[in-house]
Amino acid sequence: MSRSVLNVGQVRIHSGSVSKEDAMREAADILEAAGAVTSAYFDAMQQREQAVSTYMGNELAIPHGTNETKNAILDSALSFVRYDGGVDWDGERVTFVVGIAGKGDEHLEILSQIALIFSEEDEIARLKSAQTPEELFGLLSAVNE
């Protein structure tokens, strides 16, 4: 990838909890504000979620669109939101909601970077203890490599 898929403006921390739908809406809104997707991407995320849950384990959900809705993706980008109050993701507790939009096959590379970060309990603990979006962004910088 030739440019960064994540910048500090796409990273947020909320002390409370929201519904799964609200978390997905925020992920889509951040991606849209970054110029990565059209307004149709939220619907694409909902379609994907109806087909298969995007809950990944380790308190992580990665909402994204379907292959049929690739035309809603303008560029590759991520949104990263930590909900300290948790999100009920079909009965699973989610703390981290990572919205993803991948142009072409770039989403596979982005997903592998996210998977590496979330495969380590120490990394997850660091992500949970970050005090600011800037600090959280610093811990996630590997996704831009």
Which residues are marked as active site? 64
CB 110 within 8 Å of CB 86 = no
Neighbours of 31 (CB within 10 A): 30
Give burial (CB, 10 Å; 0-12/13-18/19+) of 91: exposed
How many residues does this entry show for the chain?
145
- Check residue 89 and report its DSSP letter: E
Amino acid residing at 92:
E
- Check residue 55 and report its DSSP letter: E
Buried b (16+ CB within 10 A) or exposed e, 5-29: bbeeebbbeeeebbebeebbbbbbb
Rounded Cα gap, residues 35 and 140, in angstroms: 20
